[in-house]
A and B are shown apart, each in its own frame.
Chain A
Amino acid sequence: MKLLEVKNLKKYFPIKQGFLVERVVGFVKAVDDVSFSVDRGKTIGIVGESGCGKTTIGKSIIRLHEVTDGEMLIDEEDTTFYFMKRKRALQYLKSKYFKDQDFDGDGSGLETYKKKIHDVFVKSDRNPSKTLNTLFENLEEKKRLLRRKAQIVFQDPMSSLNPRMTVGQMLAEPLLFHKMAEKMDDAIAMVKDLLVKVGLKAYHVDRYPHQFSGGQRQRIAVARAISVNPDLIVLDEPTSALDVSVQAQIVNLFEELQKQLNAGYVFISHNLALVRFICQEVSVMYLGRIVEQGDSESIFAAPLHPYTKALLAAAPVPDPNKKRNRKDLIGGQVPSPINRPSGCFFNPRCKYRMDICTREYPPMFKVDQKHFVACHLYSTSQEQGGEK
């Protein structure tokens, strides 16, 4: 069973203009049609340069953003509408299960949608709205469960930890909220265990964040994320604010915890070497879309998309004898996500540009069992991947 399935996720941020009366004049398409899935005990990596939408994906997964479109399934349960306003949630569910006309129509498609309802909800009920309503039953509890299941660790522990709370208060709060501990005393005892688990000492429980070093603070943030036994942890550049000598400690901590919790990780980073080390599967993003997706080894050993090649060629290697592969380097910079190039977004910087690249955005082509690439170069020889 897939732990997390993200299907055609879209997140657009409106650009507003005007004084007093604001009008929406355009959209920043931060994430555009992104699909991937995460298994328990596995780590998938999302890499890309700044502004490619990788953090937006992370925040969408744990619902810090309401998504524009797309579906998110956790343990095969549709959770997309959990945090929507009721009206929008109904709209979403209707459009998903009943396809416009047959729901509000004159009843011509009645039989088909009744069957659909039956398939979807098992229960047979004469009234479809009532059936929909069953999805909203216990919504508060479901939300709570989702909040417990999906956790996040942010980049900068100094801004993600509350400077006015002690470690004990900070870590006890989720335990009490999720009713994992009855009383404060129990919670504090659990916090002490947690601190030891992430490599700190039990007596750190009464200290404030400023009394720790950067690496220790990140350990606290990790302890907070794992305190509620989550199934899914989003790691949003968790080590980029740390020194390399400490980074290795934190990375090893993630690996150990993954074995204990059997959690799925979404690892967001711009550090390719780190992604190669930690992830089993990798998605490379460019301007809000995934350009290449596959298992880590095949992507790093044999990158296909010209952008992935450029990224790998650009990343410096700690060996003075190895010369950079200048052939794959690219010039220019990432175009604005408001005003994206027509066709393939990468075409203005691409060396292998063809006519079709300026006209059509390439679909995902399947080049291997586990390797997908969105590039017209692979359209002729390879069979199309279809639904991914």
Chain B
Amino acid sequence: MQERPILSVKNLSTHFKMVEGVVKAVQDATFDLYRDEVLGIVGETGSGKSVTVKAIAGMIDNPGFIAGGEVLFLTDEFSKSGEKEYIDLAKLPKESFSRIRGKHIGMIFQDPMTSLDPMYTIGNQMIETIVHHKGVTVEEARERAVKLLEQVGIPKPSERINDYPFQLSGGQRQRVVIAIALSCDPDILIADEPSTALDVTVQAQILELMKDLQEQFNSSMMFITHDMAVIAEIATKITVMYGSYQMEMGQSKDIFEHPMNPYTYALLECIPRLDVKQDRLLPIPGQPPVMLNPPDLCPFLPRCSRASEKCYKDLPQLEQTGDSHFVRCWNPIAGKVKLVKEAQG
């Protein structure tokens, strides 16, 4: 790709200072996000996927802090000449963030009931956002809000706009949250487990909607989930996180067809699949790592089947192995690997 990435994260680390010690939630996160790309961040509980995007959106509060790295975001918001330039979000003061968040970065969270205010109608909440960021009149904002609700598939939007969140179902609430996130034509849409709290049939609706809207609005998206199946569905590029580190990053196909990191491979082996009949799941032995004062070694080491002596000495770096395929491992799996799916019968 020739164009400049819209977001370029370099060696981003986020730590939390606790009484017991320092929790290193995210270490050394590095990735680029281009226009039209959907970057999927997948990982287990506590792997640091949510903290990564929260750090990008300036939502890390005490006792957390950004311990290092850069978050370069391409925008014309602060430029005097009107040209787009990179600003470092990691160093941006908290007050200035309100000019970025909601306007250039839209966010969708897991539970729509907690991201919507139960005391205000959904119309109120949408109009507030639009007026604040776009500087239009309330009437214009209302018109736009109705149009947005229609786009996200809410029936009779001009009536439903006066509803309170509790009058909507879970799926509809999530649609409203998506509408608010899109209300100011953001450059990046960050979705943090947007479909996890929903039922499967509704989840499918929301995922289809997000795919359609992403194409329509021509924005980039960062999609966080713990579900490998959901990520396969929506992401063009995937980064796999484990124990605060990015273990592997690459195009969606590469990750699923030839995973190079033993963790990614093991993860794909242990998920039950709907499309194939399996005789046995191959679990990963051991427990997920504890994030308090971890050693500077590969976090997967205690559970890894390919561990060698070198693994116990140094932490591997995220290295490029192929065309846009990065892996953090001393003993990556080489060549194409046969996964369960090919044993289909």
The CB with the most chain B CB atoms within 10 A, among A213, A270, A318, is that of A318
Residue of B nearest to A216 (CB): B287
Task: Report chain A residues within 8 Å CB of B205.
Answer: 329, 331
* Residues 47 to 67 of chain A near chain B (Cβ within 8 Å): 49-50
Taking a contact as CB atoms under 8 Å apart, the answer to whether A322 and B275 are in contact is: yes
- Given A213-B287, A251-B272, A317-B275, CB of A245 within 8 Å of CB of B266: yes
- Given A243-B45, A274-B272, A316-B207, CB of A297 within 8 Å of CB of B283: no
Does B253 interact with chain A (Cβ within 8 Å)? yes
Taking a contact as CB atoms under 8 Å apart, the answer to whether B288 and A273 are in contact is: no
Task: Report chain B residues within 8 Å CB of A216.
Answer: 287
State A122–B233 Cα separation when bound (angstroms): 62
* Residues 194 to 221 of chain B near chain A (Cβ within 8 Å): 199-205, 207-208
Task: Report chain B residues within 8 Å CB of A196.
Answer: none
Residue of A nearest to B251 (CB): A320
Does B341 interact with chain A (Cβ within 8 Å)? yes
- Given A318-B273, A320-B252, CB of A246 within 8 Å of CB of B199: no
Taking a contact as CB atoms under 8 Å apart, the answer to whether A244 and B44 are in contact is: yes
Taking a contact as CB atoms under 8 Å apart, the answer to whether B252 and A318 are in contact is: no
State A324–B199 Cα separation when bound (angstroms): 17
Kindly identify which residue among A243, A273, A311 contacts B272, using a CB–CB cutoff of 8 Å: A273
* Residues 258 to 284 of chain B near chain A (Cβ within 8 Å): 266-268, 270-275, 277-278, 280-284
Kindly identify which residue among A213, A243, A245, A311 contacts B200, using a CB–CB cutoff of 8 Å: A311
* Residues 205 to 251 of chain A near chain B (Cβ within 8 Å): 213-216, 243-249, 251
Taking a contact as CB atoms under 8 Å apart, the answer to whether A251 and B233 are in contact is: no
Does A300 interact with chain B (Cβ within 8 Å)? yes
Taking a contact as CB atoms under 8 Å apart, the answer to whether A318 and B232 are in contact is: yes
Taking a contact as CB atoms under 8 Å apart, the answer to whether B287 and A333 are in contact is: no
Does B77 interact with chain A (Cβ within 8 Å)? no
Kindly identify which residue among A247, A273, A310, A313 contacts B273, using a CB–CB cutoff of 8 Å: A273
User: Could you tell me the distance in whole angstroms from the C-beta of A235 to the nearest C-beta in chain B?
Assistant: 14
Task: Report chain A residues within 8 Å CB of B208.
Answer: 324, 326, 329
Task: Report chain A residues within 8 Å CB of B172.
Answer: 333
Does A101 interact with chain B (Cβ within 8 Å)? no
Does B226 interact with chain A (Cβ within 8 Å)? yes
Instruction: Name the interface size band of chain B.
Output: 35 or more
User: Could you tell me the distance in whole angstroms from the C-beta of B249 to the nearest C-beta in chain A?
Assistant: 15
Does A176 interact with chain B (Cβ within 8 Å)? no
State A246–B226 Cα separation when bound (angstroms): 13
Q: Mark A242-275, 1 if CB is under 8 A from B, else 0.
A: 0111111101100000000000000000111110
State A277–B282 Cα separation when bound (angstroms): 12
Does B292 interact with chain A (Cβ within 8 Å)? no
State A252–B282 Cα separation when bound (angstroms): 9
Kindly identify which residue among B202, B230, B288 contacts A246, using a CB–CB cutoff of 8 Å: B288
State A316–B253 Cα separation when bound (angstroms): 16
User: Could you tell me the distance in whole angstroms from the C-beta of A318 to the nearest C-beta in chain B?
Assistant: 4
Q: Mark B162-195, 1 if CB is under 8 A from A, else 0.
A: 0000000111100000000000000000000000
Task: Report chain A residues within 8 Å CB of B231.
Answer: 318
Does A321 interact with chain B (Cβ within 8 Å)? yes
Task: Report chain B residues within 8 Å CB of A319.
Answer: 232, 256, 275, 341
Taking a contact as CB atoms under 8 Å apart, the answer to whether B45 and A271 are in contact is: no
The CB with the most chain A CB atoms within 10 A, among B44, B252, B274, B288, is that of B274
State A278–B279 Cα separation when bound (angstroms): 9
Kindly identify which residue among A243, A313, A315 contacts B44, using a CB–CB cutoff of 8 Å: A243
Does B285 interact with chain A (Cβ within 8 Å)? yes
Residue of B nearest to A49 (CB): B199
Does B307 interact with chain A (Cβ within 8 Å)? no
Does A89 interact with chain B (Cβ within 8 Å)? no
Taking a contact as CB atoms under 8 Å apart, the answer to whether A320 and B253 are in contact is: yes
State A135–B16 Cα separation when bound (angstroms): 63
Task: Report chain A residues within 8 Å CB of B227.
Answer: 316
Task: Report chain A residues within 8 Å CB of B267.
Answer: 244-245
Task: Report chain A residues within 8 Å CB of B270.
Answer: 244-245, 247-248
Q: Mark B301-316, 1 if CB is under 8 A from A, else 0.
A: 0010000000000000
Does B229 interact with chain A (Cβ within 8 Å)? yes
Residue of B nearest to A331 (CB): B205
Residue of A nearest to B171 (CB): A333
Task: Report chain A residues within 8 Å CB of B169.
Answer: 333
Does A353 interact with chain B (Cβ within 8 Å)? no
Does A180 interact with chain B (Cβ within 8 Å)? no
Taking a contact as CB atoms under 8 Å apart, the answer to whether A277 and B281 are in contact is: yes
User: Could you tell me the distance in whole angstroms from the C-beta of B323 to the nearest C-beta in chain A?
Assistant: 17
Does B228 interact with chain A (Cβ within 8 Å)? yes
- Given A243-B226, A252-B280, A329-B208, CB of A315 within 8 Å of CB of B274: yes
- Given A297-B277, A334-B199, CB of A316 within 8 Å of CB of B233: yes
Taking a contact as CB atoms under 8 Å apart, the answer to whether B288 and A243 are in contact is: yes
29 A-B contacts, Cβ less than 8 Å apart? A49-B199, A49-B201, A215-B287, A244-B270, A245-B267, A245-B283, A246-B283, A273-B229, A273-B271, A274-B272, A276-B272, A276-B277, A277-B281, A297-B277, A300-B274, A314-B201, A315-B229, A317-B232, A319-B232, A319-B256, A319-B341, A320-B232, A320-B252, A321-B256, A324-B208, A329-B205, A330-B201, A331-B205, A334-B199
Extra A-B contacts (6), CB below 8 Å, given A246-B288, A277-B278, A318-B271: A248-B271, A270-B199, A316-B207, A319-B256, A322-B275, A329-B201
Residues of A within 8 A of B (CB): 49-50, 213-216, 243-249, 251-252, 270-274, 276-278, 297, 300, 310-322, 324, 326, 329-331, 333-334
